[in-house]
Amino acid sequence: MRKQPKITVGIMDRRAEVSGCLNGVFHGDGFVPLSGPFLARAAEGVVALTDSSGRKIARLPLIRLKAREGSTFTLSSVTIGNRFHWERKEDQTFRGDLVLRLRGDGTMTAINEIPLEDYLASVIASEMSDAAPMEYLKAHAILSRSWLLAALGKKQNTQMTPAVKTAAPAETFIRWYDREDHDLFDVCADDHCQRYQGITRLSSENPLRAVEETGGLCLTSGGEICDARYSKACGGLTEYFGTAWEDRDVPYLRSVSDAPIPHRPIRTEEEAAKWFLSHPEAYCNTKDEGLLRRILAGPDRETAPSSSGRRKTPAERPGALFSTVPAGVTAWGSARSGLPLWLKGASQRRRS
């Protein structure tokens, strides 16, 4: 693969310590080549790096460990599914370089610096199963690449406006969630941006092949790369960009019915609750377990459909809508909110 631009991915953020293992040889400025287990602690205004024997390797605000060709590194207790019902910690392995950087609040961030197309291959295998059909993986590669390049372009051009003011009742603060917390890296590794779990779930060459065969391809509109944000399942009806993300119209991110037939608007909380517990006709509503195993990553198969007969966990039950700021009408026919609709006991995916 040709020489690629590199991006930085925040794997672990605002941690007091980070531990893991250097699988191969890593080089750093001012110290000898390293291999094996390591521990990094944020203390006294520096990142203190030690090896498995407790020997001090470096004490610096920023430590960059450059991987020799073929080397990887493993980080322990990485949080995945942040704020989802399947949130957990697991050890993950990554290609590329490891950067340990001190924050102003005395914590530190573990960052993976990796070539862009290599990053995309891991995204595909993390977001979906790498056993999915090749054309599906290639479509995913184009979507992920488009979203990433659009996001990087926006970040570079606007320097991330942290909030947008919208008409609202007194003492109400409206915040359009973007990536303003990602100040030390380009994107995070969890569902807030794109799920990126290194090579942990790369069990075949299919994602790499999908990226190579679509190399450089993006979706465009009006001469610009599309903000191609996506979801695994929309529930049968998508929402307007301006309702859920920012108070502006994006022509290619409008409400569509994810079905061969149009769905009627949902106008009340009761109708919404009934919708959430039903099985509306939708392309993403399938009971084919074999197909789901072939396409979805393991954690995404853990929430069974409501018709399964088992008792639903609190995170799966629809809850009461407790806060909206009317500002128009949504595609669902309900009062448009300055924020995404928040449901008690429900998780939502933010991709921006």
Summarize pLDDT for 130-157 with one digit per residue, the tens.
Answer: 889 999 999 999 999 999 999 999 888 7
Chain centroid, CA 162 distance in Å: 19
CB 162 within 8 A of CB 335: no
pTM of the entire predicted model: 0.81
User: HSE of 70 in the Cβ direction (CA atoms, 13 Å)?
Assistant: 2
Model confidence at 65: pLDDT above 90: yes
How does residue 166 score in pLDDT terms, banded at 50, 70 and 90?
very low
How does residue 83 score in pLDDT terms, banded at 50, 70 and 90?
confident
Q: Give Cα separations from 193 to 147, 185, 319 (angstroms).
A: 9, 12, 25
Would you state the pLDDT for residue 86?
Answer: 81
Would you state the pLDDT for residue 347?
Answer: 36
State both tokens at 324. 């909206």
Would you state the pLDDT for residue 180?
Answer: 59
Chain mean pLDDT for the chain: 81
State both tokens at 166. 């919208």
CB 51 within 8 A of CB 14: no
Q: Would you tell me how many other CB atoms lie within 10 Å of the CB of residue 38?
A: 21
pLDDT digits 0-9 by tens, 1-53: 467 899 999 999 999 999 999 999 999 988 889 999 999 999 999 999 999 99
CA distance 17 to 75: 11
